[in-house]
Structure 1
Amino acid sequence: VVGKVAVATEREVDQACEAARDAFPAWRDMPGSERRKLLHHFADKIEERADEIALIESMDTGQPIKFMKKAAIRGAANFRFFADKAPEATAGSSSFQEEHTNFTSRSPIGAVGIITPWNTPFMLSTWKIAPALAAGCTVVHKPAELSPMTAMLLAEIAKDAGIPNGVWNTINGFGQVAGKRLSEHPDIKAIALVGSSITGPLIMKQGADTLKRMHLELGGKNPVIVFDDADFDRALDAVVFMIYSLNGERCTSSSRLLVQSGIKDKFLAALAKRVANLQVGHPLDPNTEIGPMIGQVHYDKVNSYFSVAKDDGAETLVGGAPCGSPVNGTEEGYYVEPTLFVEAKNNMRIAQEEIFGPVLTAIEFDAEDEAIKLANDIEFGLAGYIWTNDSGRGMRLARSIEAGMLWVNSENNRNLPSPFGGVKMSGVGRDGGDYSFDFYMETKNVCVALGTHKIPVLGGLS
């Protein structure tokens, strides 16, 4: 047992929302420069406890410790980035005309609800909460029930860093009670969710009666497209990293490999060797590359696709089965073999559904237009990865693929000011830089007349 948390009742959710509402005016009115200092202090506290955060996150999620140390440092970077933007958060634009001047300003929307997932909860919590606080919003945070421990640590750090009472509130519980009440609560003006494409529409319905603003970052079944002319070794490294790191439990993972026929056999042979060599082990072992799945339900889900692939006619080139514990040689633990399916078709379930594990489905294509069609023939549209040495082709595909984010000749390399988000069933809205402030803030326009324009006269005597 890593730890225990209290399950919030509806009344306790109400109390958290009321606390956020009551704390909002003072936090809103605090100068952005003061919020900047507090949030940088918060980042300092994260860095001081980065090893502790990584340890707890790894134990709570099963993610390898080697990745969680980087995630902890990224959490501090998220706070520093948005802290530096706090002083300018309310800034707008101006438009000068002959007889009028228009200018805009922004103000924080109010108390907001933030619902985060179980896969990399610490980093994703900081990514959502930091811009909300920098904008001047107060927060009610509901972490996933499967991995709540670093959320409690974040709340502890918030208090230690001097965040005022009521500005940051954490509630634990299940979606059916705590999440539902948070989404419905009239004092909550917006909901930012990172979750599945099943949960997203439910949250949207729950917030509809109070016309809540919604930002939904949902699932993906992202293609990585490797053309004959790609840099073979770099493409291979990226394909392996973007599906098998973080246990494959990431929304931006490239879980569909579209490989051009001219290099298919060579590429899949090299890929199979790499997959077979991945180190499955205890998450606290620094050599581990893949740890256990998050829990029994998800473990069963991932395992179910091994028989689905067989029934649909795909070939399992590597893996395709649960594996015993690499720690003690028993059947204990939620470990699955890193898996590579080949000879797959795009209409198979393994190519259409988000498995969310260390499982890659490879599909052959011949020409550029076929690759585009395969990439788009799916309900998701979060990310895509294109590998080619033809820059014109790279740009054509980037324009044609239905996704919120595309990388050409790169893995998922994040630039914090750039927008993050998807289309179709992968979500609504964007994060990053001013895109985050657009969500957490209201924009007001003020029109000032210069006193020279003609006003129509009604009811005057002729």
Structure 2
Amino acid sequence: MSQDFKNNIDKAATYLARFKQNTLGHYINGEWTLGSEGETFDNGSPVNGESLGKVVKASVVDVDAACKAAAKAQKEWAAMSGAKRKTILHKLADKIEARAEEIALVESSDCGQPLRFMRQAAVRGAANFRFFADKAPEARNGLALQQEEHTNFTVKSPIGPVGVITPWNTPFMLSTWKIAPALASGCTVVHKPAEFSPLSAAILAECADEAGLPPGVWNMINGFGEVAGKELTQHPDIKAIAFVGETVTGSMIQKQAADTLKRAHFELGGKNPVIVFDDADFDRALDAVVFMIYSLNGQRCTSSSRLLIQTGIKDRFLAALKARVENLKVGHPLDPATEVGPLVHTTHYEKVLSYVDAAIEDGATVAVGGKRITDLGNGNYLTPTLFTNADNTMRIAREEIFGPVLTAIEFETEEDAVTIANDTNYGLAAYIWTSNTGRSMRMAHSVESGMVWVNSENNRNLPSPFGGVKMSGIGRDGGDWSFDFYMETKNVCIAFDTHRVPVLGRE
């Protein structure tokens, strides 16, 4: 064990001690509470299966209390000037940055992501708050729309209390990505983090409290979808739901929210293609293909889990890819050398492993990996996996596996690539590698996805729209697109007193 690894273990143990020793409750109306019923669940470690502590399950009463607190705080928070909200949210970003090491170590321990990636979680989270904080003073701005005898102008106002339900794969960053624009726009929040990774959400709530958010503006409840999630999505005080997670869950939320006609924003599943043409920059494309599926344990919504490789380059590319996958370092998430860590939960671990049998049954080749790793202890470790000789009809090509698993599919022509890429229920992201500018433009227009990267891995740009089409989601995050979701737009029409008013019933 290296000295850096040992130091990380020791520091993480210090940060995790309070969660192991004290039951983690809810943060409602500015106070921590163990809830109305006190029923708990165990938060297991993906590293070794040991307990990271007890977490309170939210009851219907707890969710109702959080929603009512958000509703009560809404008027004051919405009436606060954008400049003042900006100041508070910058303070919140400062608090996050001050606890960056703690957040990274706790989150890696809680969800199994290698520390090399989680070290950026707090930095990116703080950047989200700073970006939207700076936009808060202009959030209400609208448009001036002129007519000959009237002027129309639009104004924006916060929609009201919102429910934010976030996933377990990169929980801290994705929470801030949703909550920051909600708060900047003047909405209050009830946040339900994923039950598999609740710890960093507690730190985020503490940062919000320390930054001076008024009671009720930020509320956090723990628990499961069957009770906490369902009640949150059905509650009449909640005016909108922002959800990141599985497509099946998104569909369920939409049904649950229908009776109250909530606005919904869904970032859901993906089966994203990375399309590599014969004329691609070989080394850069190889680096990007490996990074975009095996980083973050393959547990990333924008992972390129289908490799579409053109015939002329296929053999050479797959040989180089196979060598790279075999060389990936699997290990403890707090080891600085680790590139792939344990999967988040035993349930998900078994699901990912089940696709090895599915691949063999459907006729694909397990070129690399697909096996449990037992010599690292009782954790959710598996060898990074590469399937070859696959086609787009196979389960490994059609279903979201959400792990360090790549399926390679051969294509011959540009038209073939488009057909295969679009032959999916999903449409979140796509990646195109080619030196032909015209082809890159044609492909960017033809591939059915909410986002396309050409000759690049997933590059983050906060002002740009982020979201999917088809069963990958509804709506867009980023820049003003986020404010469009969290705010209502009102049109005001003012006459010049020169137009003819229609007359009825006059003598």
Q: TM-score range by the shorter chain?
A: over 0.9
CA displacement 1:299-328 (0-9 Å, x = unmatched): 1000000011001000111112111143xx
Paired residue type of 2:357 = S
Task: Indicate the residue corresponding to 2:19 in structure 1.
Answer: none
Q: How does 1:131-150 map to 2 (within 5 A)?
A: 131-150=181-200
Task: Indicate the residue corresponding to 2:482 in structure 1.
Answer: 436
Q: Which runs of 5+ in 2 are unaligned?
A: 1-50
Cα displacement (A) at 1:25: 0.4
Paired residue type of 2:408 = A
The reply to whether residue 94 of structure 1 matches residue 128 of structure 2 is no
Cα displacement (A) at 1:6: 1.3
Indicate conservation of the 8 Å contact 2:150/2:494, yes or no. Answer: yes
The reply to whether residue 418 of structure 1 matches residue 464 of structure 2 is yes
Paired residue type of 2:308 = L
CA displacement 1:335-366 (0-9 Å, x = unmatched): 11100000001000000000000000000000
Task: Indicate the residue corresponding to 1:201 in structure 2.
Answer: 251
Q: How does 1:242-281 map to 2 (within 5 A)?
A: 242-281=292-331
Task: Indicate the residue corresponding to 1:297 in structure 2.
Answer: 347
Match of 1:308 among 352, 358, 369: 358
Give distance in 2, aligned partners of 1:46 and 1:5. Answer: 22
Task: Indicate the residue corresponding to 2:449 in structure 1.
Answer: 403
Paired residue type of 2:358 = V
Give distance in 2, aligned partners of 1:60 and 1:31. Answer: 37
Match of 2:70 among 16, 20, 38: 20
Give distance in 1, aligned partners of 2:375 and 2:78. Answer: 51
3-state SS of 1:317 partner: strand
The reply to whether residue 113 of structure 1 matches residue 163 of structure 2 is yes
Task: Indicate the residue corresponding to 1:335 in structure 2.
Answer: 381
Paired residue type of 1:386 = I
Give distance in 2, aligned partners of 1:26 and 1:4. Answer: 35
Give distance in 2, aligned partners of 1:313 and 1:130. Answer: 46
Match of 1:427 among 460, 470, 473: 473
Match of 1:216 among 266, 270, 290: 266
Change (3 A) 1:114 1:325: farther
Cα displacement (A) at 1:295: 0.9
Indicate conservation of the 8 Å contact 1:308/1:350, yes or no. Answer: yes
Cα displacement (A) at 1:389: 0.3
Cα displacement (A) at 1:71: 1.6
Task: Indicate the residue corresponding to 2:29 in structure 1.
Answer: none
3-state SS of 1:178 partner: helix
CA displacement 1:188-237 (0-9 Å, x = unmatched): 00000001011000000010000000001000000000000000000000
3-state SS of 1:381 partner: coil
Task: Indicate the residue corresponding to 2:399 in structure 1.
Answer: 353
Task: Indicate the residue corresponding to 2:431 in structure 1.
Answer: 385
Give distance in 2, aligned partners of 1:392 and 1:133. Answer: 42
CA displacement 1:236-295 (0-9 Å, x = unmatched): 000000000000001100000000000000000000110000000000001100000111
Give distance in 2, aligned partners of 1:253 and 1:382. Answer: 10
Indicate conservation of the 8 Å contact 1:23/1:138, yes or no. Answer: yes
Indicate conservation of the 8 Å contact 1:260/1:367, yes or no. Answer: yes
**After TM superposition, where is structure 1 displaced by more than 3 Å over at least 4 residues in a row?**
none
Identity level (%)? 69
Cα displacement (A) at 1:14: 0.1
Give distance in 2, aligned partners of 1:270 and 1:146. Answer: 35
Cα displacement (A) at 1:40: 0.5
Give distance in 1, aligned partners of 2:238 and 2:88. Answer: 23
Paired residue type of 1:374 = I
Task: Indicate the residue corresponding to 1:169 in structure 2.
Answer: 219
Paired residue type of 2:233 = S
Task: Indicate the residue corresponding to 1:72 in structure 2.
Answer: 122
Cα displacement (A) at 1:7: 1.0
3-state SS of 2:247 partner: coil
Cα displacement (A) at 1:135: 0.2
Indicate conservation of the 8 Å contact 1:315/1:344, yes or no. Answer: yes
Give distance in 2, aligned partners of 1:324 and 1:376. Answer: 38
Indicate conservation of the 8 Å contact 1:325/1:335, yes or no. Answer: no
Cα displacement (A) at 1:3: 3.0
Paired residue type of 1:71 = A
Give distance in 2, aligned partners of 1:7 and 1:165. Answer: 22
Give distance in 2, aligned partners of 1:10 and 1:116. Answer: 19
Aligned residue pairs total: 457
Task: Indicate the residue corresponding to 1:238 in structure 2.
Answer: 288
Give distance in 1, aligned partners of 2:475 and 2:149. Answer: 36
Paired residue type of 1:406 = V
Give distance in 2, aligned partners of 1:325 and 1:14. Answer: 46
Indicate conservation of the 8 Å contact 2:92/2:207, yes or no. Answer: yes
Task: Indicate the residue corresponding to 1:227 in structure 2.
Answer: 277
Q: Which runs of 5+ in 1 are unaligned?
A: none
3-state SS of 1:237 partner: helix
Report which stretch shifted further, 2-11 or 255-264.
2-11
Give distance in 2, aligned partners of 1:97 and 1:305. Answer: 60
Cα displacement (A) at 1:95: 1.1
Give distance in 2, aligned partners of 1:3 and 1:186. Answer: 33
Give distance in 2, aligned partners of 1:86 and 1:239. Answer: 37
Cα displacement (A) at 1:8: 0.8
Give distance in 2, aligned partners of 1:392 and 1:115. Answer: 41
Cα displacement (A) at 1:98: 1.3
Task: Indicate the residue corresponding to 2:56 in structure 1.
Answer: 6
Indicate conservation of the 8 Å contact 2:111/2:168, yes or no. Answer: yes
Tell me the TM-score normalised to structure 2 length.
0.90
3-state SS of 1:2 partner: strand
Give distance in 1, aligned partners of 2:273 and 2:227. Answer: 35
Indicate conservation of the 8 Å contact 2:103/2:121, yes or no. Answer: no
Give distance in 1, aligned partners of 2:160 and 2:281. Answer: 49
3-state SS of 2:64 partner: helix
Give distance in 2, aligned partners of 1:273 and 1:335. Answer: 20
